[in-house]
Structure 1
Amino acid sequence: MSKLYVGSEVGQLRRVLLNRPERALTHLTPSNCHELLFDDVLAVEAAGKEHDAFANTLTQQGVEVLLLHDLFVETLEIPEARQWLLNTQISDFRYGPTFAKDLRNYLSEMDNEHLATVLLGGLAYSELPIHSSSMLPKMHRPIDFVIEPLPNHLFTRDTSCWVYGGVSLNPMRKPARQRETNHLRAIYRWHPVFANQGFIKYFGDDDLHYDNANIEGGDVLVIGKDAVLIGISERTKPQGVENLAASLFKHGQAKQVIAVDLPKHRSCMHLDTVMTHMDVDTFSVYPEIMRKDLDTWRLTPKGNNGDMNVEKLPSYIHAIEDALSLDSLKIITTGGDNYEAEREQWNDANNVLTVKPGVVIGYERNVYTNEKYDKAGITVLTIPGNELGRGRGGARCMSCPLERDSI
């Protein structure tokens, strides 16, 4: 059994978790897509084919690909996991005690494949064949969702992130994504690939309301050498950063956390939409956002109980150079003129997934930026992304590394 350990952003990638877009996308409509955090509706079959091309590219690079849907079905085969998921996802607080009980009874009759599909992909009132004395179903239209679809599960990066010898089960910022974390909690707790594997759960595995401590994996870059770079973004709050940092320090898994304060808007919803790590000394950066003067802090452990020192630093670039013991970073900026660069950043030109040092996967549509990467000696393995890109996420967003070498 190989080790669940992520030692960097750029070391050889060995195992990764993806989620092929399926039923959840069929429930996206022009009237609900914004609420579900998509800018547009996708052509479902085409999106699936593009995702297959992504998975195949990884496999050809020797990376083992695990699919969320399959892991979820296998987790539901364990009675304790199934019961926990039904109680957690169909809770009395979410639905009221009467309707929750009726709904749980209905779902508990389903086979695991069907139940997985419904929990991931959603269920409308019109598809519900049961009668309940609760007020709730009587107050909804047939097209309303009993169980909201989770199209953002496509972006496995955010829900949980592996940092060195453990994982953070992230309390997500937006209600449209919060249920996703429970699926990962169940998988990591009960699925045979993960159960009893001795990894640390840093944060987010308890049945708590995490209040303001939001953090999402798109903001967490495990840059290596015991350092972690985290963006404070539209979706990640300083409270989340400090909670994760405290746990990393307490478990002796990191020596420093560098936190960078990003502008809070959708075009840079996560750090990895404006900056990714491509080779030991090379980063891709969107300069409009990643200005040199962004507020930057360094958190370091004070004692061994999770307490920390916090110091403000003049520049995130110097902080990274220092953390990685490099004389200088190579920064490759988004390609093209101002218009092209803005367009390509929106289409995730900066959101590449590094497979091994200097080899990355990115969308083929970002021609100007890919050309710049190529000239700088970075090999870009291109994948189609005309549909997938509409969810505002590239190859890094769509992948959750479970095992990756250190640098």
Structure 2
Amino acid sequence: MFHVNSEVGALKHVILHEPGLDFERLTPSNKDHLLFDDVVWVSRAQEEHRAFQQLLRDRGTTVHLLRDLLAETVKDEEATAFVLDRILDERQPHLGAGLADLTQRVLAGMGPDELATHLLGGLNKRELVQALGERRYGRSLGLDLLADDDFILPPLPNSLFTRDTSCWVYDGVSVNPMMKAGRKRETVNYEAIYTFHPMFAGAGARRWIDGEAMAPAAIEGGDVEVIGNGTVLIGLGERTTPAGVEILARRLFQAGSAQRVIAVELPKARALMHLDTVLTMVDTDAFTLFAGLDRHALRSWTLTPGAGRAPAVTENRDFFGAIGSALGLDTVRVLQTRQDSYAAEREQWNDGCNLLAVSPGTVVAYEVNEAGNRMLEDNGIEVLRIRGDQLGRGRGGPRCMSCPIQRDAA
């Protein structure tokens, strides 16, 4: 059965998403809505991503690509109906019943590979009309109002960041309700994969959160770190709400899969959108922390099982002291790069703290973050460097781009 028992134990299986049609449809006019800071050189981004994949394989990790998992999932007619019923709701402002029915007819007629491509890469009016061909179809107000290149289903380039939409926490998976509108459809794809794909359907994993059933409470995987010893670390920033934290904590406690959750307050800013953009675990006793944050000023709380529905909540006097106590350590190493505010801000923009551990003390990092990488190596951490000139344009590093589904305890 799949499980994730730590942040730094040996990484066995991971889900990644290689850029494809979704990135080809990222433009200067839609990038903001799609939560990217710039358009991407797609072929170079694919080269960078394939190098990332190969590095993980070379380290003994089995890589599962999201598009392949989705295509294998929608071979099942029930899975296809599950997805289409959820993404083609006639109440969506740009659809209506007529356009929803036409789109469902076209998508349901596609083969699994083509359908998976469009579920990730989007579908525009031109493609819909071409697929309908000479077949008779009724007029639709929604369709008539669209230009040929307008999207009926917008692309999902943020699928690159597989960590956010689903995250494995000990012996179960949280399929997360996303905060931003541009990412909400991603949740449906993962719900289908974990429900219908043969690799997961009979695996017996617990489902901590079932996607949009939890909305409007929100939690995203970039804020969730499984640090071991029955402890989960969760960031409270731009994308995760207190309600989301308490719901996940309660379900973990009820199952006995975790004994405590440590929640830490983060500045609500895009550059610091998730916990793993400012803090990641890099060894059994070590965390890297963004140089622009004061380790002593971080406000945090420990949640433990309560007498009723709500977890018991205690504010911590010292954030890293609480982590050390939870892990049974006398002290926790907090690694910060010494640099001026300008360099710190640049490195934060390039995801200098967003590191993926493949084993204790060995992490994957973007090569551009030279000072931070040297600092890690000076502290005994092995750094495996990858290029991320194009991949980083959506504001995410190696941890963001990976969803571990099996990882050993450290």
Decide: shared fold, TM above 0.5.
yes
Name 1:333's counterpart in structure 2: 336
Pick from 294, 301, 308 the counterpart of residue 298 of structure 2.
Answer: 294
Name 2:108's counterpart in structure 1: 108
| Paired residues for 1:59-98 under 5 Å | 59-94=57-92, 95-98=95-98
Shift of residue 66 of structure 1?
A: 0.5
Q: Does the Cα contact within 8 Å between 2:292 and 2:344 map onto a contact in 1?
A: no
Name 2:33's counterpart in structure 1: 35
Matched, 1:347 2:345: no
Amino acid at match of 1:371: R
Shift of residue 306 of structure 1?
A: 4.8
CA deviations 1:228-264 (Å, max 9, x no partner) are 0000010001110011101111111110000001110
Q: CA separation in 1, counterparts of 2:164 and 2:294?
A: 20
Amino acid at match of 2:185: R
Query: CA 1:25–1:335 in structure 2 vs 1: closer, same or farther (change >3 Å)?
Result: farther
Normalised to the residue count of structure 2, the TM-score between the two structures is 0.96
Pick from 144, 156, 161 the counterpart of residue 138 of structure 1.
Answer: 144
Query: CA 1:276–1:75 in structure 2 vs 1: closer, same or farther (change >3 Å)?
Result: same
Name 1:175's counterpart in structure 2: 181
Shift of residue 331 of structure 1?
A: 1.3
Name 1:276's counterpart in structure 2: 280
Provide the secondary structure at the position in 2 that maps to 1:100: helix
Shift of residue 307 of structure 1?
A: 3.6
Pick from 207, 210, 216 the counterpart of residue 204 of structure 1.
Answer: 210
Pick from 136, 149, 157 the counterpart of residue 151 of structure 1.
Answer: 157
Pick from 229, 253, 258 the counterpart of residue 233 of structure 2.
Answer: 229
Q: Does the Cα contact within 8 Å between 2:291 and 2:336 map onto a contact in 1?
A: yes
| Paired residues for 1:239-388 under 5 Å | 239-289=243-293, 291-303=295-307, 306-334=309-337, 336-388=339-391
Stretches of structure 1 lacking an aligned partner (at least 5 in a row) = none
Stretches of structure 2 lacking an aligned partner (at least 5 in a row) = none
Amino acid at match of 1:119: L
Amino acid at match of 2:77: P
Q: CA separation in 1, counterparts of 2:33 and 2:67?
A: 23
Query: CA 1:59–1:290 in structure 2 vs 1: closer, same or farther (change >3 Å)?
Result: farther
CA deviations 1:140-175 (Å, max 9, x no partner) are 222321111000000000001100000111010001
State the identity as a percent. Answer: 47
| Paired residues for 1:177-196 under 5 Å | 177-196=183-202
Matched, 1:23 2:21: yes
Query: CA 1:68–1:297 in structure 2 vs 1: closer, same or farther (change >3 Å)?
Result: same
Q: CA separation in 2, counterparts of 1:162 and 1:111?
A: 30
Q: CA RMSD in A?
A: 1.3
Provide the secondary structure at the position in 2 that maps to 1:323: helix
Q: CA separation in 2, counterparts of 1:140 and 1:209?
A: 32
Query: CA 1:258–1:209 in structure 2 vs 1: closer, same or farther (change >3 Å)?
Result: closer
Q: Does the Cα contact within 8 Å between 2:173 and 2:206 map onto a contact in 1?
A: yes
CA deviations 1:315-350 (Å, max 9, x no partner) are 211110111111111111135433222111110110
Provide the secondary structure at the position in 2 that maps to 1:208: helix
Provide the secondary structure at the position in 1 that maps to 2:115: helix
Provide the secondary structure at the position in 1 that maps to 2:301: strand
Name 1:390's counterpart in structure 2: 393
Shift of residue 73 of structure 1?
A: 0.3
Q: CA separation in 2, counterparts of 1:331 and 1:135?
A: 58
Query: CA 1:34–1:331 in structure 2 vs 1: closer, same or farther (change >3 Å)?
Result: same
| Paired residues for 1:120-139 under 5 Å | 120-129=120-129, 130=132, 132-139=138-145
Q: CA separation in 2, counterparts of 1:245 and 1:334?
A: 32
Amino acid at match of 2:313: V
Pick from 215, 218, 243 the counterpart of residue 214 of structure 1.
Answer: 218
Shift of residue 133 of structure 1?
A: 1.5
Matched pairs, number: 402
Normalised to the residue count of structure 1, the TM-score between the two structures is 0.96
Name 2:168's counterpart in structure 1: 162
Shift of residue 209 of structure 1?
A: 6.0
Amino acid at match of 2:182: A
CA deviations 1:285-319 (Å, max 9, x no partner) are 0031354222211100025x754211111221111
Shift of residue 402 of structure 1?
A: 0.2
Q: CA separation in 2, counterparts of 1:146 and 1:190?
A: 25
CA deviations 1:79-117 (Å, max 9, x no partner) are 110111111112222322221111101111111111111
